[in-house]
Amino acid sequence: MATELDKIFLILEIAEFIIGMLGNVFIGLVNCSEGIKNQKVFSADFILTCLAISTIGQLFVILFDSFLVGLASHLYTTYRLGKPVIMLWHMTNHLTTWLATCLSIFYFFKIAHFPHSLFLWLRWRMNGMIVMLLILSLFLLIFDSLVLEIFIDISLNIIDKSNLTLYLDESKTLYDKLSILKTLLSLTSFIPFSLSLTSLLFFFLSLVRHTRNLKLSSLGSRDSSTEAHRRAMKMVMSFLFLFIVHFFSLQVANWIFFMLWNNKYIKFAMLALNAFPSCHSFILILGNSKLRQTAVRLLWHLRNYTKTPNPLPL
């Protein structure tokens, strides 16, 4: 029987699902239609489209996960349902995070400017570098999946025990293995965060250098390049903020799940955890001129359509 807290949790999760679907379906449709019309797909549009598709998959897994936790939480501890759901969520989350990281790095090399030869060499080979990062993410996904499978098997075995505290006291070695596996999973999640943070810091240095050059040239401090720097920095900063909330919520949710299973606080951790795939698409729309202009035109047409009076019947 679902409690009032479960109903509120499910309503909020459905709201997050609808918000995320609206943003990501919009990104996917706009980029696909532009690609068909122009008979050409740009690198940024390709990454954005892949990110939108990955996030849509993640949102469906999150929705199923939420109904499972809210309505039938006892089924979550079974191998038949618990393990596949956790593995699917981890795979889609991994792909979404790495695609967002590749997008941040792409914008950095596209907009920032440094006269250093290494930067120019990497910028010239930007597309190949993005492909290499995606290949690296796939290898890390395989490694993570193997580690996570062992982690889930041990954890679900522990949860099946009637007295978790006593079981952990009797099996210190097993608990140490869990800690090592959890650390490995956290470290692999830290790699895309560190890459995005590095690109943000270099974005800031490039903006400072560009603004100083404009002032020395008596051209002011606002031009198209400066605005592009600032918009890209806002996108990366927003991504990092959501990723930090996402990362720490994941750690809290894991701790609650495996140490205080069936605790009501895991639902609050899941709400914060799922804010990343739901809200990130709107940050991308606001930061991308093509998507932003299309969204403004769409809202204008919808506003005019709602204001149009219905014809009176004859």
Q: Where do we find the tokens 């809290």? A: 252
Residues in the chain: 314
Higher-pLDDT residue of 158, 269: 269
Residue 194: how many CB atoms within 10 A of its CB?
10
Give the tokens for residue 112: 């920032």
pLDDT score for 75: 66
**What letter represents residue 77's amino acid?**
T
Higher-confidence residue: 257 or 21?
21
Least confident of 128-132, 148-152, 291-295, 304-308: 304-308
What would the mean pLDDT of 178-198 be, rounded to a whole number?
A: 77
Query: Is the per-residue pLDDT at 163 higher than 50?
Result: no
Report all structural domains of the chain as residue ranges with CATH numbers, in order of start.
4-215+226-289 (1.20.1070.10)
Q: What is the mean pLDDT of residues 86-114?
A: 86
Q: What is the pLDDT of residue 68?
A: 80
Is residue 140 a contact partner of residue 163, using CB atoms and an 8 Å limit? no
Higher pLDDT, 156 or 8: 8
The pLDDT of residue 166 is above 50: no
